[in-house]
């Protein structure tokens, strides 16, 4: 598939058109940002790891019946995906309290929930991705009621799949962010990426953080953490 013009450059990826109007090429960068772009840096090798990890996880999800944008890995950093119109909601699933949840509700990081939770943020950089509830999302027409129901169903199903896969890799899946989009016929599919940029991973034995929190919180060993979670996947049988 021939790469055509760049149509978007985001914080972590570039997006290119292809000769097929229904397909895009995403190219993963080593750039890292946090706190809505206030903190900037690079994580050497991150683009390659996020590309390969996201593709691997999406292939697993597809086998479990969850429709995704993944089509084909083209190179270390580039993947062919189905073009969608992104539903402007960041969908966050949590199994354990951490990050903004802990801060907002005064709950200690590490508090394990009996049931996973879901929340939405309005994907809007100018507004700083504010938390939004379903009624508000419907009111401003970010998605239809039916789309929100589909997204919730997929998001919890993805959590079950990923939680058990990561457990087999010795990694606890604490929380993660998903993005969904609409194909030209309106079908909702999983898009964007699933990686240490968008998930919290804790080593199941030691509790060590193996994700972007090492960058956000200046914990050091950032590259090593990304490499370690990738290694766990590659060693998984």
Residues that bind ligand UDP (CB under 6 A): 90, 92, 98-101, 129, 175-177, 198-200, 212
- Shortest distance, position 12 Cβ to ligand ADP, whole Å: 4
Residue 10 interacting with ligand ADP (CB under 6 A): yes
- Shortest distance, position 98 Cβ to ligand UDP, whole Å: 6
- Choice between 1 and 156, CB closer to ligand UDP: 156
- Choice between 96 and 132, CB closer to ligand ADP: 132
- Shortest distance, position 45 Cβ to ligand ADP, whole Å: 17
Dihedral sign computed on CA atoms, order 73, 74, 75, 76:
negative
Residue 86 interacting with ligand ADP (CB under 6 A): yes
Stretch that binds ligand ADP, among 8-16, 58-66, 109-117, 147-155 (CB under 6 A): 8-16
- Choice between 14 and 204, CB closer to ligand ADP: 14
- Of the candidate residues 1, 3, 15, 134, the single one contacting ligand ADP (CB under 6 A): 15
- Choice between 10 and 41, CB closer to ligand ADP: 10
Return the residue nearest ligand ADP (CB atom).
Answer: 10
What span, in angstroms and rounded, lies between the C-alpha atoms of 58 and 145?
25
Task: Provide the angle, in degrees to the nearest 10, between the axes of the packed helices 46-63 and 222-235.
Answer: 30
Which residues, 181 to 210, sit near ligand ADP by CB under 6 A? 181, 191-192
- Of the candidate residues 46, 52, 77, 83, the single one contacting ligand ADP (CB under 6 A): 83
What span, in angstroms and rounded, lies between the C-alpha atoms of 188 and 185?
9
- Applying CB under 6 A, the residues found at the interface with ligand ADP are 8, 10-13, 15, 24, 69, 81-84, 86, 179, 181, 191-192
């Amino acid at each position: 598939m021939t790469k055509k013009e760049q149509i978007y450059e985001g914080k972590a990826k570039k997006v290119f058109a292809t000769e097929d109007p229904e397909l895009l090429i995403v190219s993963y960068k080593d750039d890292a940002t946090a706190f809505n772009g206030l903190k900037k840096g690079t994580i050497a090798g991150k683009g390659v790891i996020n590309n390969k990890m996201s593709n691997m996880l999406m292939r697993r999800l597809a086998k479990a019946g969850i429709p995704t944008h993944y089509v084909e890995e083209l190179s270390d950093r580039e993947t062919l995906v189905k073009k969608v119109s992104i539903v402007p909601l960041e969908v966050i699933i949590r199994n354990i309290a951490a990050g903004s949840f802990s801060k907002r509700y005064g709950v200690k990081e590490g508090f394990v929930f009996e049931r996973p939770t879901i929340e939405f943020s309005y994907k809007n950089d100018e507004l700083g991705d504010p938390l939004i509830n379903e009624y508000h999302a419907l009111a401003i027409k970010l998605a239809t009621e039916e789309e929100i129901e589909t997204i919730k169903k997929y998001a919890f199903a993805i959590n079950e799949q990923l939680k058990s896969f990561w457990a087999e890799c010795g990694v606890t899946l604490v929380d993660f962010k998903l993005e969904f989009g609409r194909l030209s016929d309106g079908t909702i599919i999983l898009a964007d990426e699933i990686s240490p940029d968008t998930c919290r991973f804790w080593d199941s034995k030691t509790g060590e953080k193996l994700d972007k929190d090492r960058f956000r919180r200046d914990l050091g060993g950032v590259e090593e953490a990304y490499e370690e979670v990738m290694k766990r996947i590659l060693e998984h049988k």
